[in-house]
Structure formats: structure tokens, C-alpha cells
Amino acid sequence: MNQVPYIAVEGPIGAGKTTLATMLAAELNMPVLKEIVEENPFLGKFYQNIDEWSFQLEMFFLCNRYKQLGDTESQLIRQGTPVISDYHIYKNLIFSERTLKGREREKYRQIYHVLTDDLAKPSTIVYIKASLETLLARIDKRGRSFEQDMDRAYLQQLIEDYEAAMASLAVTEPETTIITVDGDAADFVANPEQFAEIADRVKARIAGHPLR
């Protein structure tokens, strides 16, 4: 492969993206890019009233990710440094298509494309797929206060939206390899062999490209 390895870990809320991205980055000796959650001023308000706060929240995520990925592209990827990220910019559309309506959704879509169409695309997506019960257990275990009353229907819908989004990306971004991890079966935190199996799949994908 000629492309600099750029790996995005994805999956619905609580799937284990940050955990797996951090573990893979250590194993592969790559810098890791993490979403900043605690300083997001709209997230708590959003979970209390989705209709009222969705546009501000989606725009906030989009602007932050755009800036972070733009910087990463110029400072690392274009300099030949492989990167692993705990999100793919496409998640903005996955969420916003659910949380926004009418004119706001249409305007957001346009802004999304203007900002992101020329960003570097990940060479690999590691997609952690998990059931509602697994996600709820992990959200509970992590214990962020604003996520504790997570609406089951919202989360179930996101699981289905992620499935559809990965199928769609497989067609629209054929250069990107999608590695699917069974997040219910694989406890890569507790089981080193299960983590090694995932890491081997990623290593096979980036084989031949010099790491740092």
C-alpha cells in the first residue's frame, strides 16, 4: 500500500473506541488522536433536551473534528507519519441525520460536505460492532453522569445507523479497508490473545509501510 497508514476506530457510543485506539497506538507505536469529551459545553444539555441542543452540539463536534483532523493531516499524515484516531469524521453525518430535522439538517449536510470533502480519508476503519446490552453495560461502567439516562431507542437506532453507514462507506470509499471487530465476543481489555488477534489484522493491513 502507498498510503500512509491512517486508522480510524469507530462504533456506537461506548463500543470501546478510545480504549482500542489507545491500545493499538501503543502496540503499533503510532500517535493517537482522541476526541475531547469532558470539555464539550453542549453534551450535557443535549442529553437533557435533544431537540433544543442538537444543532449547537453537532456544529461543535464538526468544527472541532475538522480542526483536529486538518491539523493532523498537515502536521503528521502529509509528513508521512502514520496516525490512529478514535473517530472517523463521517460519524458527524451518522449522528446529525438522526438528531437534526428539516432546514437545520439540510444546512448541516451542506456545511459537512464543504468542510470535509477534501480531508484525508482513513486507509483503515476498525469498526467495533456491539449489541445494545453490551453498550449499555459499558456506558454504565464508564459512569459519565450525563450519559446515565441514555435512551435505549436512541442507542439502538445508532447501532443500526452505524451498520448502514459502514455498508455505505464500503461502497463510497472503496480505498478504505473496514476491519469489523465483534465487540460482544471480543473482550480485548481482559484478554491479551483477543487484542493480539485484532492487532494482527491491523498489522496485516499496514504491512509494508514503515512505521516510526
Ligand X SMILES: Nc1nc(=O)c2ncn([C@H]3C[C@H](O)[C@@H](CO)O3)c2[nH]1
Closest listed residue to residue 89, CA positions, set 54, 114, 53: 114
138 belongs to an annotated ligand binding site: yes
Identified catalytic residue from 51, 71, 86, 187: 86
The interface with ligand X within residues 142-161 (CB under 6 A) comprises 147
Nearer to ligand ATP, 5 or 14 (CB): 14
Three-state secondary structure of 83-135: EEECCCCCHHHHHHHHHCCHHHHHHHHHHHHHHHCCCCCCCEEEEEECCHHHH
51 belongs to an annotated ligand binding site: no
Determine if 61 is a binding residue for ligand X (CB under 6 A).
yes
Gyration radius (Cα) of the chain, Å? 17
Contacts of 95 (CB under 8 A, 6+ apart): 58, 61, 158
Per DSSP, 16 falls in state S
Residue 61 site contact among ligand ATP, ligand X, none (CB < 5 to 8 Å, cut-off depends on kind)? ligand X
Determine if 127 is a binding residue for ligand ATP (CB under 6 A).
no
Q: Which of 57-65, 66-74, 101-109, 175-183 is the region at the interface with ligand X (rule: CB under 6 A)?
A: 57-65
128 belongs to an annotated ligand binding site: no
Residue 167 site contact among ligand ATP, ligand X, none (CB < 5 to 8 Å, cut-off depends on kind)? none
Residue 16 site contact among ligand ATP, ligand X, none (CB < 5 to 8 Å, cut-off depends on kind)? ligand ATP
Q: Are 8 and 126 in contact (CB under 8 A)?
A: yes
Question: Has 200 been annotated as catalytic?
Answer: no
Applying CB under 6 A, which of residues 26, 63, 189, 204 lies at the interface with ligand ATP?
189
Determine if 138 is a binding residue for ligand ATP (CB under 6 A).
yes
183 belongs to an annotated ligand binding site: no
Q: Which secondary-structure segment (H or E) carries 161?
A: helix 152-172
Applying CB under 6 A, which of residues 141, 172, 208, 210 lies at the interface with ligand ATP?
141
Instruction: Tell me the β-bridge partners of 180.
Output: 127
Determine if 160 is a binding residue for ligand ATP (CB under 6 A).
no
Contacts of 137 (CB under 8 A, 6+ apart): none
Closest listed residue to residue 62, CA positions, set 94, 33, 32, 84: 94
Binding residues: 11-19, 138-142
Indicate which residues carry an active-site annotation: 86
Residues near ligand ATP, by CB under 6 A: 11, 13-19, 86, 138, 141-142, 187-189
Q: Which residues are annotated as a binding site for ATP?
A: 11-19, 138-142
